[in-house]
């Protein structure tokens, strides 16, 4: 028979999250004395010291406490899901849902999710957090997020994922470029052209290799960490680029025309997926979100609907590395 209670481990998780018994007590709406007693009772029944109490520095988890925390987070999360599932079966989609979104996908997916998923389900308490894909997945594994919208190549070991959109790279040119009227281009034809690089880690670390595997060694002349700045430089004739995300209008921010041309030959796709923790049985809310993203991805087209993210390029199925790079300017 289990000797500790769900309430005790909930209080322990609160203490670990706040690094303070008093702060955890306030957040849990109980007295500090009651929180301290619950923690002591838990340590007694598990037969180990879980925290070290410091008057000036709050509490610090012991090695055993850190391992115990990793084990019980999932238990607390699952207990909450069981409770919410009962409510959902009776009342429909209701309760909290925390979603992470890889930052380069946010402009294309967050508005659609907000309008077509969050707004029609007012009983859901949806929060969305944008950031770096690996960090978001770590937060998901810790229990802070339910799912992360990212790329398949960003996935960490031990997570499940559902692919919601397959993306194929294309060449972006200024409208006046000699090749702009072509239906397709072999990448080797661009070997002597200046390349405008989307300068974020996934591109810096993977795009050059992938383009070389596809027959092109790009001659980088310009860089920017901004998707639209890259498009703007291409529109002004400073070079070409290879992207996957396709905005609805082939013009730059300052109104200059652009041309999208397909790649002639084999080139890797860049897929978008929704990752979720494999240790968790998906809640009704999460399953509804997965279904929504799959539907939105299937319905998407080149005219601005959710499609694969801008950082991917030829041969890149969205490789790892996520934080923005340096600002606009020629290579150093």
- In 3D, which of 309, 279, 249, 320 has the Cα closest to residue 74? 279
**pLDDT tens readout for residues 78-88:** 777 676 666 65
Q: Give the contacts of 213 (CB within 8 A, at least 6 positions apart).
A: 315
- Give whichever of 32-36, 60-64, 253-257 has the largest mean pLDDT: 253-257
**Which pLDDT belongs to residue 202?**
63
Residue 99 has pLDDT above 70, yes or no: yes
CA distances from 14 to 4, 17, 42, 54, 72 (A): 16, 5, 13, 17, 12
Residue 312 has pLDDT above 60, yes or no: no
- Chain centre distance of CA 72: 25
Residue 317 has pLDDT above 80, yes or no: no
**Which pLDDT belongs to residue 301?**
42
The whole-angstrom separation of Cα 88 and Cα 79 is 14
Burial of 201 (0-12, 13-18, 19+ CB in 10 A): middle
Between 162 and 330, where is the model more confident?
A: 162
How confident is the prediction for the chain on average, in pLDDT?
Answer: 83
Backbone angles phi, psi at 179, to 5 degrees: -100, 5
**Which pLDDT belongs to residue 187?**
92
As a whole number, mean pLDDT of residues 167-179 equals 92
The whole-angstrom separation of Cα 229 and Cα 223 is 9
Per-residue HEC secondary structure of 30-74 comes to CCHHHHHHHHHHHHHHHCCCCEEEECCCEEEECHHHHHHHHHHHH
Lowest mean pLDDT among 26-35, 81-90, 299-308: 299-308
Question: pTM for the complete prediction?
Answer: 0.62
- In 3D, which of 161, 171, 129, 194 has the Cα closest to residue 297? 161
First to last CA, the chain: 65
The whole-angstrom separation of Cα 190 and Cα 192 is 6
Confidence of residue 322 (pLDDT cuts 50, 70, 90): very low
As a whole number, mean pLDDT of residues 25-29 equals 91
Give the up-direction half-sphere exposure of residue 253: CA atoms within 13 A in the CB hemisphere. 8
Whether 25 contacts 31, CB under 8 Å: yes
Residue 264 has pLDDT above 50, yes or no: yes
The whole-angstrom separation of Cα 52 and Cα 190 is 63
Whether 322 contacts 156, CB under 8 Å: no
**Which pLDDT belongs to residue 279?**
60
The length of the chain, given as a count of residues = 332
Whether 224 contacts 330, CB under 8 Å: no
- List the domains of the chain with CATH numbers: 6-84 (1.10.10.10), 93-332 (3.40.190.290)
Confidence of residue 3 (pLDDT cuts 50, 70, 90): confident
Confidence of residue 57 (pLDDT cuts 50, 70, 90): low
**pLDDT tens readout for residues 198-245:** 887 766 766 777 788 888 889 999 999 898 999 999 999 999 999 878
């Amino acid at each position: 028979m289990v000797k500790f209670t769900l309430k005790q481990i909930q209080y322990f998780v609160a203490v670990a999250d706040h690094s303070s018994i008093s702060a955890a007590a306030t957040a849990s709406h109980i007295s500090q004395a009651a929180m301290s007693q619950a923690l002591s009772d838990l340590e007694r029944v598990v037969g180990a010291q879980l925290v070290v109490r410091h008057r000036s520095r709050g509490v610090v988890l012991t090695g055993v406490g850190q391992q115990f925390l990793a084990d019980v987070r999932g238990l607390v999360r699952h207990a909450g899901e069981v409770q919410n599932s009962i409510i959902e079966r009776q009342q429909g989609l209701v309760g909290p849902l925390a979603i992470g979104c890889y930052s380069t996908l946010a402009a294309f997916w967050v508005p659609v999710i907000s309008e077509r998923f969050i707004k029609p389900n007012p009983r859901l308490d949806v929060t969305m957090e944008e950031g770096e894909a690996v960090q978001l997945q770590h937060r998901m594994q810790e229990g802070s997020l339910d799912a992360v919208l990212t790329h398949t190549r960003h996935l960490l070991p031990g997570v499940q994922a559902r692919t919601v959109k397959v993306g194929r790279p294309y060449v972006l040119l200024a409208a006046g470029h000699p090749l702009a009227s072509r239906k397709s281009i072999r990448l080797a034809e661009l070997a002597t052209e200046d390349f405008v690089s989307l300068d974020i880690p996934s591109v810096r670390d993977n795009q050059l290799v992938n383009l070389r595997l596809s027959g092109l060694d790009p001659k980088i002349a310009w860089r920017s960490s901004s998707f639209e700045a890259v498009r703007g430089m291409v529109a002004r004739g400073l070079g070409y680029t290879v992207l996957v995300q396709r905005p609805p209008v082939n013009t730059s921010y300052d109104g200059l025309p652009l041309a999208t041309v397909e790649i002639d030959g084999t080139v890797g796709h860049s897929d978008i997926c929704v990752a979720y923790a494999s240790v968790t049985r998906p809640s009704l809310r999460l399953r509804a979100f997965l279904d929504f993203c799959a539907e939105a991805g299937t319905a998407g087209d080149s005219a601005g609907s959710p499609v694969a993210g801008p950082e991917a390029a030829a041969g890149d199925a969205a490789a790892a590395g996520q934080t923005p790079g340096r600002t606009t300017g020629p290579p150093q």
